[in-house]
Structure 1
Amino acid sequence: MSFIAPEIRDSAIARVNPVAKLIVALTVSLALLLSIDVVSAAVALALESVLLAWSGLSARQFWHRTLPVWVAAPLAGLTTVLYGEDSGAVIWQLGWISVTEGSLTLGLAIALRVLAIGLPGIVLFATTDPTDLADGLGQVFRLPARFVLGGLAGLRLVGLGIQDWRSLGLARRARGVADDGGIRRLFGQAFALLVISVRRGSKLATAMEAKGFGSSSPRTWARASRFGAAEIAVIAVGVAVAAVAIGVAVAAGSWNFVLA
């Protein structure tokens, strides 16, 4: 079972080793976290917008998957504008809430950073199959097999958890216990899902242990995780995006190193 939609699976970025995509996401995120300024985030977001056209996601898939980021970014910016550190001229004030030129700039920088970090991360991992990622972490990064396979098994259960939640809701409606008391119904259904998840996790752990997944012996892998020219090119593009964003911000004089 693949977690990637068929139309995305054949895209160029979906065929890249997930380890390379992970390195790109971490590189861009680290570069943007080193400073809080508008220029570097805006430049990175502009470059990413051009590159995301090659992700293979349709417009509907893109907006559907990234909707939480589009909601979180303005909220983070608004919170910073209203309650962030004041500096510069006061634009608006109501009691202990004030909006200044500095808080507006800081809020815009935070909102752009949330978008510049969140959007490529979601898109990159939307084109990544968990099994391919586990193969890459185990063979390329040489992470412990028990850790990698345990994480993969847990991730595979997420889809089952979503199906269980829907089944629980339908079953409760069929029994007539989901007609009123929305808050109580939510907590009751969540507790039932927790019980089901614990039971399934225990059975899965026992089955994996019985099949030798808990062994400390060297492990073989069913599929080879290859790391070649395409992966190096993707990493180079990610490093270039981070470098250009930092370089433009430094040249514009807006670079504000957070650790300074």
Structure 2
Amino acid sequence: MVSTINPSIKIIAIVIPGLVLSLAFDILTPLVFLVFLLVVTFLFSGINLKKWFMFFIPLSLFSLGLAWTSMLHTDEKYAGGELLVHFWWIEITTGSLQVGISLALRSMCFIALTLLFALTTDATKLMLSLMQQLKLPPKLTYGILAGYRFLPLFKHELDLLRQAHQVRGVSRTKGVKGRVQRLKRYMIPLLANAIRKSERVANAMESKGFTGSRNRTHYHDIRVQKRDWVFLASMVSALALAFYLSYTLGYLNIFGRTF
């Protein structure tokens, strides 16, 4: 399962295809890689598909809108080919159509990569892996982790504040002015509680010997195993295969240059 992959290796396996895929302006390359990502997501990730589609569909609609805009305003370098549509000021050629579809497919690949990482990675393991494998400073990683853990608490405290205001009959003025006033009433108590909690966490970490030094032992030892390298190799190989198929079939296009 993808959820068992070392988070640092998973980051590398996500970032490399994302960067390299941005060079391809043809349709076949991102399409082949998108099919591979869907296979990995549906068969080997363990992600709840309903949850995945709840994120993927809205973001894909946004990418389609972005592709439509790109299709209408394609640079002259990429807008060559036969004229397909001419209506008022709208002109769509085979070149602009290819750029638009390619952009949509690349955007979907980026979305699938992001969801594959976000929905299969535990925040605590991610921070520990960044500290142990990528050698990030412990002060930074533990600070990010503490802030992440505080988010649900802030939501709970905000709900309590709203309920307390309702019980005490605090007026809820409508409109923008009312929203600003409610924001002010909520901000001060939340900020005060955040300061108190951060001081408690800092004192607790200092009392347990946390100094921020890189030379430290870890209760949870995150290791890089053979399956992590297999996952990285499979992602890079699938990307290389997509480029190879596009090149072999004569579709490969990098920044407007066909190979």
Please state which band the TM-score falls in when normalised by the shorter chain. 0.7 to 0.9
Equivalence map 1:224-243=2 (5 Å): 224-243=221-240
Counterpart of 1:218 (choices 215, 218, 222) is 215
Could you say which residue in structure 2 is the equivalent of 1:113? 106
Q: How far apart, CA to CA, are the structure 2 residues paired with 1:83 and 1:221?
A: 53
- Can you list the C-alpha shifts for 1:202-252, whole angstroms capped at 9, x where unaligned? 344433433234534633322110210111111111111211122222223
Change (3 A) 1:180 1:209: closer
CA contact (8 A) 2:137 2:212 kept: no
Could you say which residue in structure 1 is the equivalent of 2:74? 84
Could you say which residue in structure 1 is the equivalent of 2:48? 58
Q: How far apart, CA to CA, are the structure 1 residues paired with 2:188 and 2:254?
A: 47
Could you say which residue in structure 2 is the equivalent of 1:129? 122
CA contact (8 A) 2:138 2:212 kept: no
Structure 1 residue 99: Cα displacement:
3.0
TM-score normalised over the length of structure 2: 0.81
Structure 1: which amino acid aligns with 2:88? Answer: L
Structure 1 residue 162: Cα displacement:
4.3
Does residue 202 of the first structure (1) align with residue 192 of the second (2)?
no
Equivalence map 1:51-200=2 (5 Å): 51-53=40-42, 54-86=44-76, 87-88=79-80, 89=83, 91-95=85-89, 97-164=90-157, 175=169, 177-178=171-172, 180-181=174-175, 183-184=176-177, 186-187=179-180, 195=188, 198-200=191-193
Change (3 A) 1:162 1:237: farther
Change (3 A) 1:169 1:209: closer
Identify which range, 44-53 or 120-129, moves more after superposition. Answer: 120-129
Counterpart of 2:252 (choices 252, 255, 260) is 255
Which secondary structure state, in structure 2, belongs to the residue aligned with residue 202 of structure 1? helix
Aligned residues: 247
CA contact (8 A) 1:168 1:189 kept: no
Does residue 47 of the first structure (1) align with residue 36 of the second (2)?
yes
Which secondary structure state, in structure 2, belongs to the residue aligned with residue 119 of structure 1? helix
TM-score normalised over the length of structure 1: 0.80
CA contact (8 A) 1:31 1:246 kept: no
Which secondary structure state, in structure 1, belongs to the residue aligned with residue 37 of structure 2? helix
Stretches of structure 2 that go unaligned for 5 or more consecutive residues are: none
Change (3 A) 1:241 1:202: farther
Q: How far apart, CA to CA, are the structure 2 residues paired with 1:155 and 1:70?
A: 27
Q: How far apart, CA to CA, are the structure 2 residues paired with 1:231 and 1:17?
A: 6
Change (3 A) 1:166 1:126: farther
Structure 1 residue 160: Cα displacement:
3.4
Identify which range, 153-162 or 129-138, moves more after superposition. Answer: 153-162
CA contact (8 A) 2:25 2:256 kept: no
Structure 1 residue 35: Cα displacement:
2.2
Which secondary structure state, in structure 1, belongs to the residue aligned with residue 254 of structure 2? coil
